[in-house]
Protein backbone atom coordinates (compact mmCIF):
# COMPACT_ATOMS: atom_id res chain seq x y z
CA UNK A 1 0.00 0.00 0.00
CA UNK A 2 1.19 3.46 -0.82
CA UNK A 3 2.86 5.31 2.07
CA UNK A 4 3.94 8.87 2.70
CA UNK A 5 7.68 8.89 3.17
CA UNK A 6 10.07 11.69 4.04
CA UNK A 7 13.61 11.14 2.77
CA UNK A 8 16.14 13.35 4.51
CA UNK A 9 19.32 13.77 2.50
CA UNK A 10 17.35 12.78 -0.58
CA UNK A 11 19.49 14.98 -2.81
CA UNK A 12 22.58 13.00 -1.86
CA UNK A 13 24.09 9.89 -3.39
CA UNK A 14 22.18 7.14 -1.62
CA UNK A 15 19.16 9.24 -0.64
CA UNK A 16 18.40 10.27 -4.22
CA UNK A 17 18.46 6.65 -5.40
CA UNK A 18 16.19 5.77 -2.49
CA UNK A 19 13.68 8.54 -3.14
CA UNK A 20 13.39 7.45 -6.74
CA UNK A 21 12.91 3.80 -5.86
CA UNK A 22 10.15 4.68 -3.39
CA UNK A 23 8.43 6.78 -5.98
CA UNK A 24 8.62 3.97 -8.52
CA UNK A 25 7.09 1.65 -5.94
CA UNK A 26 4.10 4.00 -5.76
CA UNK A 27 4.84 5.78 -2.49
CA UNK A 28 4.36 9.51 -1.96
CA UNK A 29 7.84 10.84 -1.40
CA UNK A 30 9.11 14.19 -0.17
CA UNK A 31 12.80 15.00 0.00
CA UNK A 32 14.22 17.14 2.79
CA UNK A 33 17.77 18.32 2.16
CA UNK A 34 19.79 21.43 2.98
CA UNK A 35 21.71 21.02 -0.30
CA UNK A 36 24.95 21.56 1.62
CA UNK A 37 26.43 18.45 0.07
CA UNK A 38 23.55 17.27 -2.09
CA UNK A 39 22.51 18.36 -5.57
CA UNK A 40 19.04 19.78 -6.22
CA UNK A 41 18.88 18.10 -9.64
CA UNK A 42 19.35 14.67 -8.01
CA UNK A 43 15.87 15.14 -6.56
CA UNK A 44 14.62 14.92 -10.17
CA UNK A 45 10.82 15.31 -10.16
CA UNK A 46 10.35 14.56 -6.46
CA UNK A 47 9.21 17.47 -4.27
CA UNK A 48 12.18 18.94 -2.41
CA UNK A 49 11.98 20.92 0.80
CA UNK A 50 15.21 22.82 1.31
CA UNK A 51 16.04 22.75 4.98
CA UNK A 52 18.39 21.55 7.64
CA UNK A 53 17.52 18.70 9.99
CA UNK A 54 18.62 20.97 12.84
CA UNK A 55 16.10 23.62 11.83
CA UNK A 56 12.81 22.96 13.56
CA UNK A 57 11.20 25.92 11.81
CA UNK A 58 11.45 24.18 8.45
CA UNK A 59 11.09 20.63 9.68
CA UNK A 60 7.94 21.06 11.78
CA UNK A 61 5.74 22.50 8.99
CA UNK A 62 6.96 19.76 6.64
CA UNK A 63 5.99 17.06 9.12
CA UNK A 64 2.73 18.76 9.98
CA UNK A 65 1.67 19.09 6.36
CA UNK A 66 2.38 15.66 4.94
CA UNK A 67 1.23 13.11 7.50
CA UNK A 68 4.26 10.87 6.98
CA UNK A 69 4.11 7.16 7.74
CA UNK A 70 7.88 6.96 8.10
CA UNK A 71 11.12 8.83 7.64
CA UNK A 72 14.22 7.49 5.93
CA UNK A 73 17.11 9.46 7.33
CA UNK A 74 20.16 9.80 5.10
CA UNK A 75 21.14 13.40 5.86
CA UNK A 76 24.56 13.20 7.52
CA UNK A 77 28.22 13.92 7.11
CA UNK A 78 29.98 10.74 6.08
CA UNK A 79 33.70 11.24 5.61
CA UNK A 80 35.86 9.27 8.01
CA UNK A 81 38.94 11.46 7.50
CA UNK A 82 37.04 14.74 7.89
CA UNK A 83 35.40 13.49 11.06
CA UNK A 84 38.81 13.12 12.66
CA UNK A 85 39.85 16.70 11.89
CA UNK A 86 36.41 18.32 12.33
CA UNK A 87 34.50 16.24 14.89
CA UNK A 88 32.38 19.22 15.91
CA UNK A 89 30.33 19.21 12.70
CA UNK A 90 29.91 15.43 12.89
CA UNK A 91 28.48 15.48 16.40
CA UNK A 92 26.38 18.59 15.74
CA UNK A 93 24.91 17.40 12.45
CA UNK A 94 24.80 13.64 12.83
CA UNK A 95 23.84 13.48 16.51
CA UNK A 96 22.16 16.78 17.45
CA UNK A 97 20.53 17.08 14.02
CA UNK A 98 19.12 13.56 14.25
CA UNK A 99 17.88 14.19 17.77
CA UNK A 100 16.07 17.27 16.53
CA UNK A 101 14.62 15.27 13.65
CA UNK A 102 13.25 12.46 15.78
CA UNK A 103 11.91 14.77 18.48
CA UNK A 104 10.11 16.80 15.82
CA UNK A 105 8.83 13.53 14.31
CA UNK A 106 7.41 12.49 17.69
CA UNK A 107 5.72 15.85 18.04
CA UNK A 108 3.78 15.12 14.86
CA UNK A 109 3.22 11.48 15.69
CA UNK A 110 5.61 10.09 13.08
CA UNK A 111 7.15 7.13 14.88
CA UNK A 112 9.00 5.07 12.29
CA UNK A 113 12.54 5.71 11.14
CA UNK A 114 14.97 3.90 8.87
CA UNK A 115 18.38 5.18 9.90
CA UNK A 116 21.59 5.13 7.83
CA UNK A 117 24.15 3.69 10.16
CA UNK A 118 27.54 2.32 9.27
CA UNK A 119 30.09 -0.44 9.69
CA UNK A 120 32.33 2.33 11.05
CA UNK A 121 30.48 1.79 14.36
CA UNK A 122 32.44 -1.47 14.77
CA UNK A 123 35.89 0.11 14.75
CA UNK A 124 38.51 -2.62 14.49
CA UNK A 125 36.48 -5.80 14.94
CA UNK A 126 38.11 -8.65 16.85
CA UNK A 127 36.65 -11.25 14.49
CA UNK A 128 35.40 -11.36 10.90
CA UNK A 129 32.99 -11.33 9.20
CA UNK A 130 31.16 -8.76 11.31
CA UNK A 131 27.76 -9.73 12.70
CA UNK A 132 25.35 -7.41 14.46
CA UNK A 133 26.55 -8.91 17.75
CA UNK A 134 30.16 -7.89 17.09
CA UNK A 135 31.28 -5.36 19.69
CA UNK A 136 30.89 -1.76 18.52
CA UNK A 137 33.93 0.28 19.30
CA UNK A 138 34.32 3.06 16.74
CA UNK A 139 37.76 4.51 16.07
CA UNK A 140 36.65 7.74 14.43
CA UNK A 141 34.08 10.44 15.24
CA UNK A 142 31.98 9.53 12.20
CA UNK A 143 31.42 5.98 13.51
CA UNK A 144 30.98 7.31 17.02
CA UNK A 145 28.30 9.79 15.91
CA UNK A 146 26.31 7.00 14.23
CA UNK A 147 26.66 4.72 17.25
CA UNK A 148 25.36 7.49 19.50
CA UNK A 149 22.24 7.74 17.36
CA UNK A 150 21.77 3.96 17.46
CA UNK A 151 21.80 4.22 21.26
CA UNK A 152 19.31 7.10 21.20
CA UNK A 153 17.02 5.01 19.00
CA UNK A 154 17.19 2.08 21.43
CA UNK A 155 16.29 4.34 24.35
CA UNK A 156 13.47 5.98 22.37
CA UNK A 157 12.06 2.56 21.48
CA UNK A 158 11.97 1.70 25.17
CA UNK A 159 10.56 4.97 26.40
CA UNK A 160 8.35 6.21 23.56
CA UNK A 161 7.54 3.16 21.41
CA UNK A 162 9.57 4.78 18.66
CA UNK A 163 10.10 2.12 15.94
CA UNK A 164 13.36 2.15 14.03
CA UNK A 165 15.68 0.07 11.94
CA UNK A 166 19.32 1.11 11.75
CA UNK A 167 21.02 -0.21 8.64
CA UNK A 168 24.75 -0.51 9.06
CA UNK A 169 26.09 0.06 5.57
CA UNK A 170 29.39 -1.31 4.51
CA UNK A 171 30.89 0.55 1.51
CA UNK A 172 28.27 1.94 -0.85
CA UNK A 173 29.25 1.61 -4.50
CA UNK A 174 27.89 1.90 -8.01
CA UNK A 175 25.23 3.99 -9.70
CA UNK A 176 21.62 3.50 -10.70
CA UNK A 177 21.40 0.66 -13.24
CA UNK A 178 19.69 2.88 -15.81
CA UNK A 179 22.41 5.53 -15.62
CA UNK A 180 20.07 8.23 -14.32
CA UNK A 181 21.73 8.87 -10.97
CA UNK A 182 25.29 8.56 -9.81
CA UNK A 183 27.75 9.42 -7.13
CA UNK A 184 28.69 13.08 -6.74
CA UNK A 185 30.48 14.28 -3.66
CA UNK A 186 32.19 17.59 -3.28
CA UNK A 187 34.91 17.15 -2.25
CA UNK A 188 35.23 13.57 -3.46
CA UNK A 189 37.18 11.45 -1.01
CA UNK A 190 35.85 7.95 -1.71
CA UNK A 191 38.01 5.32 -3.27
CA UNK A 192 35.87 4.14 -6.18
CA UNK A 193 35.14 7.53 -7.74
CA UNK A 194 38.74 8.64 -7.27
CA UNK A 195 40.03 5.56 -9.11
CA UNK A 196 37.59 6.14 -11.94
CA UNK A 197 38.46 9.86 -12.13
CA UNK A 198 42.04 8.78 -12.59
CA UNK A 199 40.98 6.50 -15.45
CA UNK A 200 39.13 9.42 -17.07
CA UNK A 201 42.19 11.67 -16.73
CA UNK A 202 44.36 9.13 -18.51
CA UNK A 203 41.70 8.50 -21.14
CA UNK A 204 41.72 12.24 -21.84
CA UNK A 205 45.44 12.05 -22.62
CA UNK A 206 46.97 12.37 -19.14
CA UNK A 207 50.18 10.54 -18.35
CA UNK A 208 49.54 7.50 -16.09
CA UNK A 209 52.73 8.37 -14.21
CA UNK A 210 51.26 11.72 -13.07
CA UNK A 211 48.66 9.88 -11.04
CA UNK A 212 46.49 11.68 -8.49
CA UNK A 213 45.46 8.41 -6.90
CA UNK A 214 46.77 7.70 -3.41
CA UNK A 215 46.54 4.40 -1.61
CA UNK A 216 46.30 5.12 2.09
CA UNK A 217 48.50 2.63 3.89
CA UNK A 218 50.23 -0.48 2.57
CA UNK A 219 51.36 -1.91 5.91
CA UNK A 220 48.05 -3.22 7.22
CA UNK A 221 47.88 -6.83 8.30
CA UNK A 222 45.96 -7.90 5.18
CA UNK A 223 46.82 -10.05 2.15
CA UNK A 224 48.50 -7.20 0.23
CA UNK A 225 48.92 -4.66 3.03
CA UNK A 226 46.01 -2.41 1.96
CA UNK A 227 42.60 -2.05 3.63
CA UNK A 228 39.82 -4.51 2.94
CA UNK A 229 36.25 -3.31 2.49
CA UNK A 230 32.92 -4.89 1.54
CA UNK A 231 31.40 -2.95 -1.38
CA UNK A 232 27.63 -3.00 -1.77
CA UNK A 233 25.73 -1.67 -4.78
CA UNK A 234 23.64 1.42 -4.05
CA UNK A 235 20.54 -0.25 -5.53
CA UNK A 236 20.95 -3.12 -3.08
CA UNK A 237 21.21 -0.67 -0.19
CA UNK A 238 17.98 0.92 -1.37
CA UNK A 239 16.09 -2.36 -1.73
CA UNK A 240 17.06 -3.17 1.87
CA UNK A 241 15.49 0.12 2.99
CA UNK A 242 12.14 -0.72 1.45
CA UNK A 243 12.36 -4.14 3.09
CA UNK A 244 13.05 -2.37 6.41
CA UNK A 245 10.06 -0.10 5.90
CA UNK A 246 7.84 -3.11 5.28
CA UNK A 247 9.19 -4.85 8.37
CA UNK A 248 8.57 -1.83 10.61
CA UNK A 249 4.96 -1.79 9.48
CA UNK A 250 4.42 -5.56 9.56
CA UNK A 251 6.24 -6.11 12.87
CA UNK A 252 5.56 -2.97 14.87
CA UNK A 253 6.65 -4.19 18.29
CA UNK A 254 10.36 -4.87 17.73
CA UNK A 255 11.55 -1.49 18.99
CA UNK A 256 14.95 -0.56 17.59
CA UNK A 257 16.61 -3.11 15.32
CA UNK A 258 19.95 -3.07 13.55
CA UNK A 259 21.08 -4.91 10.43
CA UNK A 260 24.36 -5.12 8.53
CA UNK A 261 24.18 -4.39 4.81
CA UNK A 262 27.06 -5.82 2.84
CA UNK A 263 27.73 -8.73 0.52
CA UNK A 264 30.13 -10.71 2.70
CA UNK A 265 33.03 -10.23 0.32
CA UNK A 266 36.12 -8.16 0.99
CA UNK A 267 38.38 -6.45 -1.55
CA UNK A 268 41.69 -4.78 -0.80
CA UNK A 269 42.31 -1.30 -2.18
CA UNK A 270 44.75 -2.78 -4.71
CA UNK A 271 42.20 -5.39 -5.80
CA UNK A 272 39.65 -2.64 -6.38
CA UNK A 273 42.17 -0.71 -8.49
CA UNK A 274 42.89 -3.86 -10.46
CA UNK A 275 39.19 -4.51 -11.04
CA UNK A 276 38.85 -0.90 -12.26
CA UNK A 277 41.71 -1.43 -14.70
CA UNK A 278 39.84 -4.36 -16.20
CA UNK A 279 36.50 -2.53 -16.41
CA UNK A 280 37.96 0.66 -17.88
CA UNK A 281 40.77 -0.84 -19.93
CA UNK A 282 42.98 1.95 -18.58
CA UNK A 283 46.41 1.51 -17.01
CA UNK A 284 45.57 3.18 -13.69
CA UNK A 285 48.60 3.93 -11.51
CA UNK A 286 48.76 4.98 -7.86
CA UNK A 287 51.10 6.18 -5.15
CA UNK A 288 51.40 4.37 -1.86
CA UNK A 289 51.15 6.93 0.95
CA UNK A 290 50.72 6.89 4.73
CA UNK A 291 47.64 5.48 6.36
CA UNK A 292 44.64 7.79 6.66
CA UNK A 293 43.72 8.35 10.27
CA UNK A 294 40.68 6.45 11.44
CA UNK A 295 40.80 3.60 8.87
CA UNK A 296 40.37 0.08 10.28
CA UNK A 297 42.24 -2.62 8.31
CA UNK A 298 39.30 -4.86 7.44
CA UNK A 299 35.51 -4.49 7.40
CA UNK A 300 33.51 -7.34 5.89
CA UNK A 301 29.84 -7.98 6.64
CA UNK A 302 27.91 -10.99 7.68
CA UNK A 303 24.55 -9.77 6.38
CA UNK A 304 22.63 -12.97 7.01
CA UNK A 305 20.31 -11.28 9.52
CA UNK A 306 19.20 -8.75 6.90
CA UNK A 307 18.74 -11.56 4.41
CA UNK A 308 16.60 -13.59 6.81
CA UNK A 309 14.60 -10.97 8.67
CA UNK A 310 14.24 -8.37 5.93
CA UNK A 311 13.95 -11.10 3.29
CA UNK A 312 16.51 -9.19 1.30
CA UNK A 313 18.98 -10.50 -1.25
CA UNK A 314 21.58 -8.33 -2.95
CA UNK A 315 21.21 -8.34 -6.73
CA UNK A 316 24.86 -7.36 -7.25
CA UNK A 317 27.06 -9.62 -5.14
CA UNK A 318 30.20 -8.85 -7.16
CA UNK A 319 32.06 -5.57 -7.21
CA UNK A 320 32.47 -5.69 -11.00
CA UNK A 321 28.83 -4.79 -11.57
CA UNK A 322 29.05 -1.84 -9.21
CA UNK A 323 32.20 -0.65 -10.92
CA UNK A 324 30.68 -1.02 -14.38
CA UNK A 325 27.64 1.07 -13.40
CA UNK A 326 29.83 3.68 -11.76
CA UNK A 327 32.10 3.79 -14.84
CA UNK A 328 29.10 4.19 -17.16
CA UNK A 329 27.93 7.10 -15.01
CA UNK A 330 31.29 8.88 -14.69
CA UNK A 331 32.05 8.43 -18.38
CA UNK A 332 28.92 10.44 -19.13
CA UNK A 333 29.23 12.80 -16.14
CA UNK A 334 32.92 13.51 -15.65
CA UNK A 335 33.84 15.69 -12.65
CA UNK A 336 33.95 19.42 -13.40
N1 LIG B 1 41.25 4.94 0.18
C2 LIG B 1 42.46 5.10 -0.45
N3 LIG B 1 42.65 6.22 -1.21
C4 LIG B 1 41.69 7.17 -1.37
C5 LIG B 1 40.46 7.00 -0.72
C6 LIG B 1 40.26 5.87 0.04
O7 LIG B 1 43.35 4.27 -0.33
O8 LIG B 1 41.95 8.18 -2.05
C9 LIG B 1 41.03 3.73 0.99
C10 LIG B 1 40.64 4.05 2.41
O11 LIG B 1 41.78 4.17 3.21
C12 LIG B 1 39.76 2.84 2.76
C13 LIG B 1 39.12 2.44 1.44
O14 LIG B 1 39.92 3.06 0.43
O15 LIG B 1 40.57 1.79 3.18
C16 LIG B 1 37.69 2.93 1.30
O17 LIG B 1 37.66 4.30 1.63
P18 LIG B 1 36.42 5.23 1.33
O19 LIG B 1 36.80 6.63 1.73
O20 LIG B 1 35.97 5.02 -0.07
O21 LIG B 1 35.27 4.66 2.26
P22 LIG B 1 35.25 4.43 3.85
O23 LIG B 1 35.71 3.01 4.05
O24 LIG B 1 36.14 5.44 4.50
O25 LIG B 1 33.82 4.62 4.20
For residue range 293-320, list pLDDT tens digits in order. Answer: 889 999 999 999 999 999 999 999 999 9
Whose CA is closest to atom 14 on ligand 1? 191
Q: What is the CATH number of the domain that holds 101?
A: 3.40.50.720
In a domain, residue 179? The reply is no
Query: Which atom of ligand 1 is found nearest the CA of 81?
Result: 24
* Whether 198 contacts 272, CB under 8 Å: no
In a domain, residue 185? The reply is no
Residue 192 Cα to ligand 1 midpoint, Å, equals: 8
Task: Kindly give the residue spans of alpha helices, DSSP state H, lying in the chain.
Answer: 13-24, 56-66, 80-85, 87-90, 98-107, 141-160, 191-203, 234-250, 269-280, 304-309, 319-332
Q: Which of 161, 188, 169, 191 minimizes the C-alpha distance to 263?
A: 169
Domains in the chain, number:
2
* Whether 84 contacts 27, CB under 8 Å: no
Q: At what angle do helices 98-107 and 56-66 cross, to 10 degrees?
A: 40
Looking at residues 253-281, what average pLDDT do you find?
97
Q: Tens of pLDDT along 84-136?
A: 999 999 999 999 999 999 999 999 999 999 999 999 999 999 999 999 999 99
Last residue of a domain, one of 240, 261, 282: 261
**Ligand 1 neighbourhood includes 189 CB (under 6 angstroms):** yes
Per-residue model confidence (pLDDT) at position 138: 96
Catalytic residue check, 142: yes
Q: Tens of pLDDT along 169-224?
A: 999 998 877 777 877 777 888 999 999 999 999 999 999 999 999 999 999 999 99
Q: CA 208 to CA 276: how far, in whole Å? A: 14
| DSSP-derived secondary structure for 101-147 | HHHHHHHTT--EEEEEEEGGGG-S-SSSSB-TTSPP--SSHHHHHHH
Distances (CA, A) of 28 to 43, 46, 67, 85: 14, 9, 11, 39
Same domain? 74 vs 19: yes
Q: Which of the 8 DSSP states describes residue 301?
A: B
Select from 139, 217, 269 the residue to mutate for testing ligand 1; criterion: most ligand atoms less than 8 Å from CB: 269
Q: CA 209 to CA 16: how far, in whole Å? A: 36
Q: Which entry of 142, 267, 286, 316 is annotated as an active-site residue?
A: 142
Same domain? 45 vs 82: yes
Same domain? 13 vs 109: yes
* Whether 60 contacts 85, CB under 8 Å: no
Same domain? 224 vs 272: yes
Residue 220 Cα to ligand 1 midpoint, Å, equals: 13
Q: Tens of pLDDT along 220-263?
A: 999 999 999 999 999 999 999 999 999 999 999 999 999 999 99
In a domain, residue 268? The reply is yes
Residue 217 Cα to ligand 1 midpoint, Å, equals: 10
151 Cβ contact partners less than 8 Å away, ≥ 6 residues apart: none
Same domain? 271 vs 289: yes
Distances (CA, A) of 202 to 186, 197, 216: 21, 9, 21
Same domain? 109 vs 242: yes
In a domain, residue 178? The reply is no
Whose CA is closest to atom 13 on ligand 1? 191
Its domain, for residue 128, covers 4-173+232-261
Whose CA is closest to atom 7 on ligand 1? 215
Q: CA 176 to CA 156: how far, in whole Å? A: 34
pTM above 0.85, yes or no: yes
Same domain? 255 vs 135: yes
In a domain, residue 34? The reply is yes
Q: CA 123 to CA 127: how far, in whole Å? A: 11
Whose CA is closest to atom 5 on ligand 1? 191
Distances (CA, A) of 228 to 48, 119, 120, 128, 224: 37, 13, 13, 11, 9
**Ligand 1 neighbourhood includes 119 CB (under 6 angstroms):** no
In a domain, residue 301? The reply is yes
Amino acid sequence: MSKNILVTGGAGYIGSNMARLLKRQGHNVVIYDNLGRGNADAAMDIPLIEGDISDRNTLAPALEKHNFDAVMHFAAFAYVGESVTAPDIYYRNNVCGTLNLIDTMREFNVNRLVFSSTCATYGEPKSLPITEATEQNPINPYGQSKLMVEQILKDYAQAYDFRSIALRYFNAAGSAEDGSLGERHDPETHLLPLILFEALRIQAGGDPKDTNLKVFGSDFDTRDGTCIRDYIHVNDLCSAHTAALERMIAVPDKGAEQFNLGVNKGYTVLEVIDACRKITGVDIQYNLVDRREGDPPELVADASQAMQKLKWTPSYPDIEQSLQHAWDWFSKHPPE
